Structure 1
Amino acid sequence: MNIKRGLFRLWLVLSIIWIAVFVFISWDSIERDEWWSGDPDIYADLPVPCGKARGTEGKDYSQRLAPEPWNTVRNPGSACWYPERKFRALFPFYNGNSHGKVSKMLYDELGWEPAEGGDKFLRTKPVVLAALLPPLLVLAVGSALVWAFSGFARRPAA
């Protein structure tokens, strides 16, 4: 019987279970990160207060929460989001301004603070750290203990 191999296999199975359960429990947090969003660049769309929305919901715009967590707790915490092409067609008086300037003006109108170079993995990093760190610590401590106790093993007779 090989104790080292058995302990390693036990560690491997328990680590996979730990990681899978931890990611499953934290999935809602991971999905809210920018890298996971169905929109490849959630900041590419332009927010308009829904009271001033033009066009048809679902066709021209969609009502969504602010992508920044600090803006979701403000009033309003959501807005009507337009792709730039549709926004420019429905709100032609903004056409002389760049995307960045229009976005800043709309955020100011909503009373929101824009994210400046935010971290796309803000919520994912702590989940990955908490999922991987305990199994790695157990591996390190277990390996050290196996190494230490292997010094007490009898040498095979020659």
Structure 2
Amino acid sequence: MNIKRGLFRLWLVLSVLFATTVFVFTYNSIKSEFDKSSLLAGIPANAEAMIPVSCYQARGALKVDFELATGETEKKPWERCWYRPKKFRVLFPEYQDIDDEQLVTKTYMEAKVPLYPAHPWQTLGGIALFAFGIPLGFLIVGGSLIWAFSGFAGQSKAS
């Protein structure tokens, strides 16, 4: 009976250490997803997405038709210039035949700007499932083996 209790305590300690280690190593990933989500939540529902274009291909005038990234003061060919969709459609008529969602997706891909939706709870759930699922699996398998092997032991007679 003491062996079962000792193995359970060992499993409990190792499970806590495993889960802690998983969360320590994945903390930055979880935090970045929640940060990205809070940034997206701060954008009003009616806000327009900005359209990225290589400044080498930019059309129009700076601060009239497009903006530069934060901290940039002059247009450089290797930087990205950012357009509001209405200005972009006027200056780039070749994109007139697609809707706004396709426009944003296509221009972000062309500009090699990642366009990831934030799913913080899905990320956290996956990591939690891994951190607690592995130890739970070991508990089930280990408990089953102990239960099976304890059936082979002779029964003690009460005197």
TM-score, normalised via structure 2 length: 0.52
Task: Give 1:9's aligned residue.
Answer: 9
Change (3 A) 1:10 1:157: same
- Alpha-carbon distance, 1:121 to partner: 2.5
- Matching residue within 64, 67, 76 for 1:52: 67
- Alpha-carbon distance, 1:41 to partner: 5.8
Q: Which runs of 5+ in 1 are unaligned?
A: 63-74, 80-103
User: Secondary structure of the equivalent of 1:153?
Assistant: coil
Identity %: 31
- Alpha-carbon distance, 1:109 to partner: 10
Root-mean-square deviation (Å):
4.1
Answering whether residue 40 of structure 2 is matched by residue 42 of structure 1, we say: yes
Q: Which residue type is aligned with residue 52 of structure 1?
A: E
Contact 2:15-2:135 at 8 Å conserved across structures: yes
Distance 2:67 2:107 in 1: 15
- Alpha-carbon distance, 1:135 to partner: 0.4
- Alpha-carbon distance, 1:32 to partner: 1.9
Distance 2:25 2:7 in 1: 27
TM-score, normalised via structure 1 length: 0.53
Change (3 A) 1:135 1:109: closer
Task: Give 1:31's aligned residue.
Answer: 31
Distance 1:150 1:137 in 2: 20
Distance 2:105 2:3 in 1: 66
Change (3 A) 1:150 1:4: same
Task: Give 1:90's aligned residue.
Answer: none
How many residue pairs get aligned? The number is 114
Contact 1:29-1:124 at 8 Å conserved across structures: no
Change (3 A) 1:108 1:152: closer
**As a proportion of its length, which structure holds more helix?**
2
Determine which structure has more spread, i.e. the larger CA radius of gyration. 2
Q: Which runs of 5+ in 2 are unaligned?
A: 53-62, 72-78, 83-99, 110-114
